[in-house]
Amino acid sequence: MNLLCGCLSVAASFDGYYNAPAIFILAAAGFDFFDGLAARVLKVQSEIGKQLDSLADIISFGVAPSIILVMLLRQKLGLNPHDGAFLAAGAKTVQYFPLVLVIFSAMRLAKFNIDTRQHDSFIGVPTPANAIFIASLPLIIQSNNSTLFPGLVFPPGYNPVAEFIAGLTEIPAVIIGYSVIMSYLLVSELRLFALKFKTVSWEENKIKFIFLILSLLLFFILNVAAIPIIIILYIVLSIINNQFVENKT
């Protein structure tokens, strides 16, 4: 189902749909989470399952989100593949730059499969995090600035965070810059905590509880506009946690 949703996302992008590619990626992330959970609960982990998981992830969390960025960038550059001038456009190559994320996502997944250090944490940003970040962008653009609790924080129908993020997607250099930065983070040696709970102890899971509480608050206040902020928060809290652990040791 993860792989199927990834393929449907790519197909929907090429068919010109706007929100559907993002929704299929989010569905793929859900299936990816629950298949791992089911494998651990049922104790049916296998080598073939491990390989199939990565093969599905490269489509759902590598190719599919990169195509969304390609389509966004093409739109912002004013390129039309059905226009005769399209082939002569100076930006015809630039529009495909986000595909660099596919390469680094593949490297990230291959590295994860052979890296024995990543049982209780991640080294490098997980591909689903990057995919969810990108998938949120078209949803934010189409969100009409809605919030779950209008009036509590912002006036009804006004979400400055959504407006700001949507505005950033209008700048081609931002999309290209994101592709570069995230490509590096995917294969970096940055250690990030995993949301796996061996116990419910506050002391042992303090950073995870803080992240979940802040994420829920952000989502209730900002709706889908909270998603990229939550991904950034995840990276920032991981860096803070790493410094705390180093100082403690």
Q: Which residues of 178-187 are buried (b: 16+ CB within 10 A; e: fewer)?
A: bbeebbebbb
Show the domain range for 23: 2-112+120-192
For residue 170, give every residue at least 6 positions away whose Cβ sits within 8 Å of its Cβ, in sequence order, or none. 76
- Is 200 within a domain? no
Of 162, 184, 166, nearest to 174 (Cα)? Answer: 166
- Is 208 within a domain? no
**Which tokens belong to 144?**
């009409």
**Which tokens belong to 10?**
């790519």
**Which tokens belong to 25?**
């990626």
What does each of the 249 residues of the chain score in pLDDT, given as a tens digit?
999 999 999 999 999 898 999 999 999 999 988 887 777 778 777 778 878 888 999 999 999 999 999 999 988 887 765 555 555 455 578 889 999 999 999 999 988 888 777 667 889 999 999 999 999 999 999 886 666 666 567 777 778 889 999 999 999 999 999 999 999 999 999 999 888 766 667 777 788 899 999 999 999 888 899 999 999 999 999 999 888 766 665
Q: Total domain count for the chain?
A: 1
- The Cβ of residue 68 has, within 10 Å, a number of other Cβ atoms equal to 23
For residue 109, give every residue at least 6 positions away whose Cβ sits within 8 Å of its Cβ, in sequence order, or none. 54, 57, 58, 62, 127
Provide the β-strand partners of residue 122.
Answer: 192
